[in-house]
């Protein structure tokens, strides 16, 4: 049991935090987060004055519900992405949300501590999936599939420190596209970049860059700069911080924390400042030091080949060969890439708008991926390899941007697709309304009635205004006698009598152009 007084003190402090944020007009997300903490504290006090209903009414830390408006935006984004994946001929698969714990073991390096485990309730030990790549590799090995082009859109789970205002959650969607199979070099790799280019362009998120590098170039560079073999991975992790930290701090970590020599660090520093296109790859192939590494040369030749295909795909305008790109995950073996939004035009929702430049950096990476030729082999009893390359679209950040934008533009997002409300002008017409709406449903028209025996005409019309229903089919004594329906256009308030037998055709005609 906790000390009651201690919790009460904590509640007082947390209450102050919430009041302060509110008075500063902080963002809704930020306030919600702090209110949630407050509620949690109150719940820990237990009992309380309200009696039995003293529990916390919230979603788990780092998660959220999607309301209908958010779902409408989410659906639009998913449709754009799915259309692109299908345009490139991908199939789709699905895997369970949890895997055997051992399936995930040893695949994520240091990040393994962020994996959610299920409670041992007897039976197998299970963990929630951490990404879609490892389950994909498990699926390929288990079904002995040696080539496939598939996409998978699903939620993954990480016990990370959530930063929800910036679109970082513990439960979040990934949209993955991967090509598995033994093919001629760099063709599938180039298609992955083409896909990123298409999706980011179509979503109109503003300008972006796709950084490209190769694990073999990084390893070769480390070798020729004198990094000991056993420090490749850890130095690679430090290089990975260059998008957040200035070189001086990265250098410091290399030398002070990781024990690298100053000379090696400085040599690395020269290389990682380089970025360019095919020309840079050519120059580095001539570089006296770099050219000593076979690995680096293989990577550089492939970058050259990659760029030649990217030219044919018409996407070189956004792609940069950037030697500072490292990427965190252990399993990459060749080309790696990461897409970032470069426009500061993305308005942050909260008050730290003053700090615009920092905020625009923090939106950061919206897609990333690379080649992982060894992962499937880790699951195969005979270690048979299946070369793979893929890309993952970081959809939550994209949602955040789209939502902020819809809010800023005060855009009216419709959350239903109803085409017509069946309404009545007088009392006692419920049966007639139900009869008519049945006719419409049976003809495939999206229609509603109010669930009231005798709704007022005005409240029926108001419902249409509020929810964006474009048409009203109004029934009255006279209309029923004449065998017509009064069809009202909500926007223009225009009304026409349509004969009952023409009504369906007329509604379809009027809504097909919308």
User: Rule CB under 8 A: which of 414-453 touch a second copy?
Assistant: 415-418, 430-431, 434-435, 438, 441-442, 444-449, 451-453
Subset of 140-159 contacting a second copy (CB under 8 A): 141-143, 148, 150, 155, 157, 159
Cβ nearer to a second copy, comparing 126 with 218: 126
Subset of 254-313 contacting a second copy (CB under 8 A): 309, 312-313
| Smallest separation, CB 233 to a second copy (Å) | 20
Cβ nearer to a second copy, comparing 130 with 271: 130
Cβ nearer to a second copy, comparing 192 with 323: 192
| Smallest separation, CB 334 to a second copy (Å) | 15
What tokens does 223 get? Answer: 């070798």
Cβ nearer to a second copy, comparing 187 with 353: 187
Q: How far is the C-alpha of 388 from the C-alpha of 146, rounded, in Å?
A: 10
> Residue 58, interface with a second copy (CB under 8 A)?
yes
Subset of 192-221 contacting a second copy (CB under 8 A): 194, 198
SS3 of residue 124 by DSSP? coil
Whether the Cβ atoms of residue 371 and residue 388 lie closer than 8 Å to each other: yes
| Smallest separation, CB 432 to a second copy (Å) | 9
Q: Which of 68, 228, 259, 345 binds a second copy (CB under 8 A)?
A: 68
Strand-by-strand arrangement of the 420-424 sheet: 447-448, 420-424, 471-475, 484-489, 495-499
Cβ nearer to a second copy, comparing 66 with 263: 66
Residue 246 DSSP one-character state? -
Q: Which of 11, 26, 64, 398 binds a second copy (CB under 8 A)?
A: 64
- Total number of residues that touch a second copy (CB under 8 A): 96
Q: How far is the C-alpha of 488 from the C-alpha of 497, rounded, in Å?
A: 9
Which residues are CB-neighbours of 424 under 8 A, at least 6 positions away? 430, 432, 433, 455, 457, 460, 474, 475, 476
Cβ nearer to a second copy, comparing 260 with 473: 473
SS3 of residue 453 by DSSP? coil
| Smallest separation, CB 88 to a second copy (Å) | 7
Cβ nearer to a second copy, comparing 368 with 455: 455
Residues paired with 340 in a beta bridge = 209, 365
Subset of 358-377 contacting a second copy (CB under 8 A): none
> Residue 507, interface with a second copy (CB under 8 A)?
no
SS3 sequence of 156-191 = EECCCCCEHHHCECCEEEEEEEEEECCCCCCHHHHH
| Smallest separation, CB 482 to a second copy (Å) | 21
Among 269, 264, 227, CA closest to 250: 269
| Smallest separation, CB 490 to a second copy (Å) | 15
Stretch that binds a second copy, among 68-76, 208-216, 289-297, 489-497 (CB under 8 A): 68-76
Q: How far is the C-alpha of 475 from the C-alpha of 134, rounded, in Å?
A: 59
Which positions from 311 to 350 touch a second copy by CB under 8 A, shown as an x/- string? -xxx------------------------------------
CA angle 156, 137, 335 (to 5 degrees): 90
The DSSP string of 348-385 is -SSSGGGGHHHHHHHH-EEEEEEE-SSHHHHHSTT---
Q: How far is the C-alpha of 494 from the C-alpha of 473, rounded, in Å?
A: 12
| Smallest separation, CB 452 to a second copy (Å) | 5
Q: How far is the C-alpha of 480 from the C-alpha of 467, rounded, in Å?
A: 27
| Smallest separation, CB 96 to a second copy (Å) | 4
| Smallest separation, CB 269 to a second copy (Å) | 37
| Smallest separation, CB 166 to a second copy (Å) | 19
What tokens does 126 get? Answer: 């299970």
SS3 of residue 413 by DSSP? coil
Cβ nearer to a second copy, comparing 199 with 498: 199
């Amino acid at each position: 049991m906790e000390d009651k007084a201690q919790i009460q003190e904590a509640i007082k402090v947390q209450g102050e935090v919430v009041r302060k944020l509110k008075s500063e007009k902080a963002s809704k997300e930020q306030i919600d987060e702090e209110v949630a903490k407050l509620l949690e504290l109150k719940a820990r006090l237990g009992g309380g004055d309200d009696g039995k209903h003293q529990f916390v009414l919230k979603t788990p830390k780092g998660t959220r519900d999607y309301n209908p408006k958010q779902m409408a935006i989410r659906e639009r984004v998913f449709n754009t992405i799915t259309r692109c994946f299908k345009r490139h001929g991908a199939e789709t698969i699905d895997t369970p949300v949890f895997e055997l714990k051992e399936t995930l073991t040893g695949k994520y390096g240091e990040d393994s501590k962020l994996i959610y485990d299920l409670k041992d309730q007897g039976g197998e030990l299970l963990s929630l999936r951490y990404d879609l790549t490892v389950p994909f590799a498990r699926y390929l090995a288990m079904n002995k599939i040696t080539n496939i082009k598939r996409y998978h859109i699903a939620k993954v789970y990480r016990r990370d420190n959530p930063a929800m205002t910036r679109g970082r959650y513990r439960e979040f969607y990934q949209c993955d596209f991967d090509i598995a199979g033994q093919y001629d070099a760099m063709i599938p790799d180039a298609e992955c970049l083409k896909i990123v280019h298409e999706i980011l362009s179509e979503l109109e998120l503003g300008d972006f860059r796709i950084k490209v590098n190769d694990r073999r170039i990084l390893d070769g560079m480390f070798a020729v700069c004198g990094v000991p073999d056993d420090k490749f991975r850890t130095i690679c992790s430090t290089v990975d911080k260059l998008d957040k930290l200035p070189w001086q701090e990265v250098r410091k970590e290399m030398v002070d924390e990781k024990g690298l020599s100053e000379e090696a660090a400085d040599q690395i520093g020269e290389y990682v400042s380089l970025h360019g296109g095919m020309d840079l790859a050519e120059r580095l192939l001539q570089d006296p030091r770099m050219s000593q590494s076979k690995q680096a040369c293989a990577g550089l030749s492939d970058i050259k080949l990659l760029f030649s295909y990217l030219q044919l795909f018409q996407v070189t305008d956004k792609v940069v060969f950037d030697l500072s790109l490292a990427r965190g995950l252990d399993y990459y073996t060749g080309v790696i890439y990461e897409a970032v939004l470069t426009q500061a035009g993305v308005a942050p929702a909260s008050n730290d708008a003053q700090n615009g430049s920092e905020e625009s950096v923090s939106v950061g990476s919206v897609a990333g991926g690379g080649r992982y030729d060894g992962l499937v082999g880790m699951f195969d009893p005979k270690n048979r390899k299946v070369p793979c390359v893929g890309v993952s679209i970081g959809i939550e950040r994209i949602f955040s941007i789209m939502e902020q934008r819809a809010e800023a533009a005060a855009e009216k997002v419709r959350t239903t697709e109803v085409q017509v409300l069946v309404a009545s002008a007088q009392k006692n017409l419920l049966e007639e309304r139900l009869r008519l709406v049945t006719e419409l449903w049976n003809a495939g028209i999206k229609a509603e009635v109010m669930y009231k025996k005798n709704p007022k005409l005005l409240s029926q019309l108001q419902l249409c205004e509020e929810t964006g229903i474009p048409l009203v089919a109004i029934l009255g004594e006279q209309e029923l006698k004449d065998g017509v329906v009064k069809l009202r256009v909500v926007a223009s308030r225009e009304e026409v009598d349509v004969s009952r037998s023409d009504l369906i055709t007329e509604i379809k005609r009027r809504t097909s152009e919308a």
